[in-house]
Structure 1
Amino acid sequence: MRRILFLMIFGLAGLGVLVSLGVWQMQRMAWKEGILAEIDARIAADPIDLPQTVSEADDKYLPVTLSGEMEPEEIHVLVSVKQVGAGYRIIQPFSVEDRTVLVDRGFVPVTDKQAERVSGPMEVSGNLHWPDEVDGYTPEPDIDDNIWFARDLPNLAAALGTEPVLLIARTETDPGVTPLPVDTANIPNDHLQYAITWFGLALVWAAMTGYFLWRNRAPSEREAQ
């Protein structure tokens, strides 16, 4: 009986831990979905003029409209787009009165890397963003061929002589450039998969506990007979 009691306590304790972890992941999923909904609402809000001072903490995803002049110099950031393939993000300086910031105009295929693009006076709407794309494995940019491997904002700004402020265009600025606007698709939300994993382990744990209890009760029942 002591062994059966121990198995029951151990089994129920393990089951409680696994179920609680699954419930916690469901709660985390609800929290994350709320955060993503807030970001989506911020991204889709009506754009405003570029604030005089901006910061990542306060202004990430802020919708902004720039009215000024697109400068002709550009940087090409290597990317891959689903169902399209490899190409480049076109990053250019944009002058607004006495300020110059960066604009990510969007995507061009590899074959259009050197194509002539519309520049000069225009209006661009999009969202301010601080991409987190640089890590220890990111190659250094190929300056000679103008190929960058990440949107390294401080270095992009230094190379083009702008403020370290980046607007991701959501309106078309050139017929040959496809905007790649900011969205939440790349923000991970894997809590449902984690919850399913924990609940699945809880089910297996319950089945194993029941099996061991049955095995340990079976000899006693046979002896009683």
Structure 2
Amino acid sequence: MRRILFLLIFGIAGLAILLSLGTWQVQRLHWKKGLLADIDTRIAGDPANLPDAIDPEAHRYLPVSMAGEMLPREIHVLVSVKQVGPGYRIIAPFRSGNRTILIDRGFVPTTAKSTARQVGEMEITGNLHWPDEIDSYTPEPDTDENIWFARDVPALADSLGTEPVLLIARSQTDPEITPLPVVTAGIPNDHLQYAVTWFGLALVWAAMTGYFLWRSRAPSESETQ
């Protein structure tokens, strides 16, 4: 009897923990969906002027429209685009009045790395962003070949002599550059997968608990003889 009671308590406790983890992930799923909807609304909002004082948290995804001069220097960030293949994001300095910031002009294939691009006066619409692309496995930039492996905004700004502010263009700045505007598709939302995993484990746990309880209650062969 004690064995059955122990198995019952152990099984119920484990089931409760697994179900609570699955429920928490469902709650996180709804929270993440709401967050992504808010980000989508912010990204698609009416463009404003570049704020005087930039706050990377408060102004993340802020739509901005600027007029100024695209300067000739640029940095190439190695990326890969689905159904297209490898290429580079073109990061260039953009001067507007007495301010110079970074512009992510968009994507070019590897064959267009050294192609001359339009510079000079233009208007740009895009979204402010500070991508989180650096981890312990990110290689250092190959400065000799001008190839970078992540959009490290402070390092890019230091290299190009700009403010540590990155505007990712939605509008086209050159006929040969394909804009890669900010979208929420790249923001992970794996909570449904996690919820299914926890609920699946709860189902297995319940089945195993029921099996062991049945085995414990079933008469042994010696008892039936």
1:88 corresponds to: 88
CA deviation string 1:32-70 (max 9, x = no partner): 111111111111111101111111021111100011111
How far is 1:156 from its partner? 1.1
1:48-101 deviations in Å (ceiling 9; x for gaps): 011111110211111000111111111111111111111110011111111111
Partner of 1:214: 214
Corresponding position of 1:109: 109
Q: Distance in 1 between matches of 2:207 and 2:130?
A: 48
CA deviation digits over 1:108-158, x for unaligned, max 9?
000011112111111110000111112232222222221111112112112
Q: Does 1:159 align with 2:159?
A: yes
What code does the residue aligned with 1:84 have?
Answer: V
Matched, 1:139 2:142: no
> Counterpart of 2:131 in structure 1: which amino acid?
P
Partners of 2:155 and 2:214 in 1: how far apart?
Answer: 66
Give the RMSD, CA atoms, in angstroms. 1.8
Equivalent residue, structure 1, for 2:204 = 204
Percent identity for Structure 1 against Structure 2: 71
Aligned match of 2:183: 183
Count of residue pairs the alignment pairs up: 225
**1:123 partner SS:** strand
Q: Which residue pairs with 2:33 in the alignment?
A: 33
Q: Which residue of 2 aligns with 1:55?
A: 55
Cα distance in structure 1, aligned partners of 2:144 and 2:214: 73
- Matched with 1:11 is 11
Task: Work out whether 1:126 is the aligned partner of 2:126.
Answer: yes
- Cα distance in 1 between the residues matched to 2:139 and 2:18: 42
TM-score of the aligned structures, taking structure 2 as reference length: 0.95
- CA offsets, 1:153-188, max 9 Å, x none? 112112111111110001111110000111112222
TM-score (norm 1): 0.95
Question: Structure 2: any 5+ residue segments left out of the alignment?
Answer: none
Mind listing any 5+ residue stretches in structure 1 that lack a counterpart?
none
Match of 2:193 in 1: 193
For residues 94 and 120 of structure 1, the distance between their equivalents in structure 2, rounded to whole angstroms, comes to 9
State how far apart, in whole Å, the 2-side matches of 1:55 and 1:183 are: 20
* Deviation at residue 224 of structure 1 after TM alignment: 8.5
- Secondary structure, aligned partner of 2:54: coil
